[in-house]
Structure 1
Amino acid sequence: MISDFMSGLVRLRRGSWEMLASLLIAIGVIMLMQPVFLWAYTYSFIVTLTGTVMFIIVSHFPE
């Protein structure tokens, strides 16, 4: 399973990159909602924006 994921990343396939972009968006939202670490809140917008732009670009990759 891990080798399929890594193979998809190397071959620029949509599924693996979309999962990575979605994970980045989720991490950014979690960083935004947590009340403890100021550095995580500070970088949450950048992480979420990066994941969103990455998802838009990756949606044009072949399956």
Structure 2
Amino acid sequence: MSRLTVDPIACRAHGLCADVLPELITVDEWGYPVVHGGPVTESLLAEARRAAAACPALALRLRKS
């Protein structure tokens, strides 16, 4: 089981993660990501990996829980 986490200090509000994975990530009014839900389902795991890899600030992480 994996979960997405955001390092709020490293995040620079580029919003690429929400573009790649809108099923689990939206952005707030300042452009910072809001991760919704609990564990990443198997069907979204590949997209979650892509979203974490797309983060230019390396602030989005996919962690095993």
TM range (shorter): 0.3 to 0.5
TM-score by length of 2: 0.32
Higher helix proportion (structure 1 or 2): 1
Larger Rg belongs to: 1
Higher strand proportion (structure 1 or 2): 2
